[in-house]
Amino acid sequence: MSSEEVTIYHNPKCSKSRETLARLRQRGIEPRIIEYLDTPPTAEEIATLAGILGLPLSELVRDKEYRELGLPENADDSSLRSLMAENPRVIQRPIVLCGGRGVIARPPDRVDEILS
């Protein structure tokens, strides 16, 4: 598997994200790393990620961080995508994409689901 096939939306301060990256590297995969706090996905990219993951947008939100920021409850999808793009720390991590499939790797061994 070539490294171009795998992308990780990574937060180096997150232990689960670091564990997932290490798991990929143990398999000989050097993924494309997007440190999404430094390079946040756009609202459109967030919509694409949700589609690849096959999840509603609400599943991509870290509830605690969302509440801590005082973001509006019951936001519609369009508003939620914008809020996530403007406040990337509320996005679940790590997100790993491979071959048109994706997973939120919590726990890190979930990444195996898209690599096999």
Q: What is the pLDDT of residue 32?
A: 96
Residue 2 has pLDDT above 50, yes or no: no
Number of independent structural domains in the chain: 1
User: CB under 8 Å to 93, separation ≥6 — which residues?
Assistant: 9, 10, 11, 14, 16, 17, 36, 62, 104, 106
Known catalytic membership, residue 14: yes
User: Which pairing describes strands 32-35 and 6-10: parallel, antiparallel, or unpaired?
Assistant: parallel
Q: Report pLDDT digits (tens) over 63-95.
A: 888 888 888 888 889 999 999 999 999 999 999
Taking the C-alpha atoms of residue 46 and residue 52, their distance in angstroms, rounded to an integer, is 10
Taking the C-alpha atoms of residue 53 and residue 34, their distance in angstroms, rounded to an integer, is 17
Q: Report pLDDT digits (tens) over 26-71.
A: 999 999 999 999 999 999 999 999 999 999 998 999 988 888 888 8
Taking the C-alpha atoms of residue 74 and residue 22, their distance in angstroms, rounded to an integer, is 36
Of 5, 7, 14, 71, which is the active-site residue? 14
Q: What is the pLDDT of residue 3?
A: 43
Domain containing residue 68:
3-115
Give the CATH number of the domain where residue 54 resides. Answer: 3.40.30.10
